[in-house]
């Protein structure tokens, strides 16, 4: 039971941030804008979130400080999302090139600013945000130990975002228009919808969630900003594709990939896996092998929005 609880806890530290970032990609691509800039936006979100922690950790503490840092990460993500939206929507730039530019710019810019401010590329912070036991809920048999012990508030925020995103996309007028912008933007325009405004909203939401995801995946597994998102933004894109652009399947996809990542990192602490005598390199390759295998079997059945990646031209029909 202790081993299972350890695996589940470690898996959630990765699964929920990946879920949040993938949902960010969902909002953008459902609106017709391909956002491969998730990786770069995560870097920006992490950078500004960690700077907030660094400056305020002697004046604030606990969950309030963590929430303030999350808000800073969200704001940074929105700003970078706006850059991508302006290039892709207003300037009709190639969305892949725009996203790639942000991915290349983000690490260089943030590391430069970090060295400018602190003379080092890593910005440290104190991780004081682990909730050892959630009152009352941690006493529930089995479930309490798995989900309400050694947890972060970001885990529960991520689950809330999943439900909110599902409701918004499928049960609201905005969600209907967002899906129309990604499937048939001309039909949306004919019905009186503003395609560019809807797409802007989708990309800004995408930026906000990617920025948030960058911070909440860093806090549980590190104590400093290092100028990289470790490829999690690209993994979130794989999860988005594997999840077929649907929130529920994206959630289960996040759990699958997070389990692969967790096993690759903590296998030495699991007696059964450690006793198999499998070389370390095999476990380290596991997440990437899983990604390739999954994409090979799912790419042909891909149900991407039909207008994703296509600049909107009102004159075309």
Find the CATH number of the domain harbouring 91: 1.10.3470
Q: How long, in residues, is the chain?
A: 317
Q: In 3D, which of 104, 112, 110 has the Cα closest to residue 39?
A: 104
Decide: 273 and 74 in contact? Cβ < 8 Å.
Answer: no
Answer yes or no: is 308 within a domain.
Answer: no
HSE-up of 157 (CA within 13 Å, CB side)? 20
- Around Cβ 224, how many Cβ atoms within 10 Å? 16
Q: Where are the alpha helices (DSSP H) in 86-194?
A: 95-118, 143-147, 153-171, 173-183, 185-190
Answer yes or no: is 75 within a domain.
Answer: yes
Answer yes or no: is 228 within a domain.
Answer: yes
Count of domains forming the chain: 1
pLDDT confidence of residue 1? 55
pLDDT confidence of residue 317? 61
Q: How far apart are CA 102 and CA 80, in angstroms?
A: 8
pTM, entire model: 0.93
Q: What contacts 66, CB < 8 A, 6 or more positions away?
A: 53, 129, 152, 153, 154, 219
Answer yes or no: is 97 within a domain.
Answer: yes
Q: How far apart are CA 254 and CA 219, in angstroms?
A: 18
Answer yes or no: is 310 within a domain.
Answer: no
Helix (H, G, I), strand (E, B) or coil at 193: coil
pLDDT confidence of residue 143? 86
pLDDT confidence of residue 228? 86
Q: What is the pLDDT along the chain (317 residues), one digit of tens a residue?
A: 577 778 888 899 999 999 999 999 999 999 999 999 999 999 999 999 999 998 898 888 789 999 999 999 999 999 999 999 999 999 999 999 999 999 999 999 999 998 888 877 788 888 889 999 988 888 888 888 888 888 999 999 999 999 999 999 999 999 999 999 999 999 999 888 999 999 999 999 999 999 999 999 999 988 888 888 888 999 999 999 989 999 999 999 999 999 988 888 777 767 666 667 777 777 778 888 887 887 777 767 777 898 888 888 776 76
Q: How far apart are CA 50 and CA 231, in angstroms?
A: 18
Structure tokens at 219: 């806090």
Q: How far apart are CA 239 and CA 203, in angstroms?
A: 18
Q: How far apart are CA 84 and CA 82, in angstroms?
A: 5
pLDDT confidence of residue 137? 85
Q: In 3D, which of 148, 300, 113, 306 has the Cα closest to residue 225?
A: 113
Answer yes or no: is 309 within a domain.
Answer: no
Structural domain for 36, as ranges: 3-299
Q: How far apart are CA 107 and CA 217, in angstroms?
A: 16
Answer yes or no: is 306 within a domain.
Answer: no
């Amino acid at each position: 039971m202790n081993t299972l609880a350890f695996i589940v806890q470690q898996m959630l530290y990765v699964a929920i941030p990946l879920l949040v970032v993938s949902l960010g990609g969902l909002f953008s691509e459902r609106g017709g804008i391909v956002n491969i800039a998730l990786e770069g936006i995560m870097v920006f979100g992490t950078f500004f979130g960690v700077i907030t922690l660094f400056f305020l950790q002697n004046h604030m503490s606990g969950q309030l400080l963590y929430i303030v840092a999350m808000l800073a990460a969200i704001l940074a993500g929105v700003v970078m999302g706006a850059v991508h939206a302006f290039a892709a929507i207003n300037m009709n730039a190639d969305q892949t090139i725009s996203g790639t530019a942000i991915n290349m710019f983000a690490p260089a810019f943030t590391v430069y600013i970090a060295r400018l401010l602190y003379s080092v590329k890593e910005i440290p912070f104190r991780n004081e945000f682990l909730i050892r036991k959630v009152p009352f809920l941690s006493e529930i048999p089995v479930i309490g130990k798995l989900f309400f012990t050694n947890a972060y508030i970001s885990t529960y925020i991520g689950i809330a975002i999943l439900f909110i995103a599902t409701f918004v996309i499928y049960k609201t007028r905005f969600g209907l228009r967002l899906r129309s912008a990604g499937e048939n933007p001309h039909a949306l325009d004919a019905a009186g919808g503003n395609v560019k405004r809807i797409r802007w909203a989708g990309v800004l939401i995408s930026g906000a969630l990617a920025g948030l995801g960058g911070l909440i995946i860093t806090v549980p597994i590190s104590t400093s900003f290092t100028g990289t998102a470790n490829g999690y933004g690209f993994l979130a894109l794989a999860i988005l594709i594997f999840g077929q652009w649907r929130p529920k399947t994206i959630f289960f996809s996040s759990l699958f990939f997070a389990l692969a990542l967790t096993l690759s990192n903590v296998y030495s602490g699991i007696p059964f896996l450690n006793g198999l005598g499998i070389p370390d390199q095999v476990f380290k390759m596991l997440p990437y092998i899983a990604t390739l295998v999954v994409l090979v079997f799912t790419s042909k059945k891909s149900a991407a929005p039909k207008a994703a990646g296509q600049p909107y031209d009102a004159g075309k029909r």
